[in-house]
A = this chain, B = another copy of it.
Amino acid sequence: VTLLSTARDLRRRLARQRRGLFVAEGARTVQQLLTSTLDTVGILVDADHAAAPRIAPLLDLADDRGLAVQLVTPDEFASAAETESPQGILAVAAIPTRSLADLALVPTARILLLDGLQDPGNAGTMVRTAAALGAQATVALPGTVDLWNAKVVRGAMGALFDHPAFADTWSALDLFRQRADLPIWAADAGGPDVSLLAPPARLGLIIGNEGAGLSDEGRARAEQLVAIPIDPAVESLNAAVAAGILLYQLRR
């Protein structure tokens, strides 16, 4: 089995789950992967780009580490890549084993809970935002895009590699809350102005789907709805922008 055929297969969510592998595309993302704690399996390179200034040092680094490097034709590379400008390089790496069961909450924690987020770019931006603003973890609840989708990985700009972001279930969240005190708030236009509320030391913040908002499961678990006041002429904020403003306003 070649790295090329593996990378092609990993475009399917089921294949990523079965193999426990994902693909990181682009020079900067591959560089961030190689300097993270994740296990990289190998690197696939478009032979036409192997000598490029951004690519060659990464191949040297991979060589030093004894990682597999496969050079392929531009057409072969394109058949494996998923993002808009993969820059002729992608890496295959192991999806880290993470879950709510393994998460030890610090006294003042923020956990971002993604409830049915569908847009890979938005989801990646939200993981990056959560990591930047000091959230302790990001959990993709059912109905959310796979965080190990190549477009999410690219959008997260490396934040997925070290920030504990992972998929888990609503029942795992319920069990987690029996063990650790974690009040849950949820973004909803019907809630009061977030700036009027004092957040608890630990907080789980649910962000709902881009169009449909909170799911029934998310709404049922929210102890407090919160809103960002906006001009009534605008329907809503972008989900990633809303998540950023709320995590900022509710920071500790």
Q: Which residues of A pack against B, CB within 8 Å? A: 121, 125, 128-129, 131-134, 157-159, 162-163, 228, 230-231, 233-238, 240-245, 248-249
In the complex, chain B residues whose CB is within 8 Å of the CB of A234: 128, 131-132, 157-159, 163
A157 to chain B, nearest CB (A): 6
Q: Is there contact, CB below 8 Å, between A238 and B128?
A: yes
A34 to chain B, nearest CB (A): 15
**Please, how many angstroms separate the alpha-carbon atoms of A2 and B129 in the complex?**
45
Tell which of B133, B233, B237 touches A129, judged by Cβ atoms closer than 8 Å.
B237
**Please, how many angstroms separate the alpha-carbon atoms of A134 and B234 in the complex?**
10
A133/B244 contact (C-beta < 8 A), A128-B238, A235-B157, A237-B128 known: no
Q: A249's closest neighbor in chain B, by CB?
A: B248
A231/B133 contact (C-beta < 8 A), A240-B240, A240-B241, A249-B248 known: yes
Q: Is there contact, CB below 8 Å, between B238 and A129?
A: yes
One complex includes copies of this chain to the number of: 2
15 cross-chain CB contacts under 8 A: A121-B121, A128-B234, A129-B237, A131-B233, A132-B230, A133-B230, A134-B231, A157-B235, A157-B236, A163-B234, A237-B244, A241-B241, A241-B244, A245-B245, A248-B248
Residue of A132, A134, A240 with highest tally of chain B CB at under 10 A: A132
**Please, how many angstroms separate the alpha-carbon atoms of A233 and B230 in the complex?**
32
Q: A131's closest neighbor in chain B, by CB?
A: B234
Tell which of B237, B240, B248 touches A228, judged by Cβ atoms closer than 8 Å.
B248
In the complex, chain B residues whose CB is within 8 Å of the CB of A231: 131-134
A23 to chain B, nearest CB (A): 21
In the complex, chain B residues whose CB is within 8 Å of the CB of A157: 234-236
Q: A28's closest neighbor in chain B, by CB?
A: B235
Q: A159's closest neighbor in chain B, by CB?
A: B234
A12 to chain B, nearest CB (A): 20
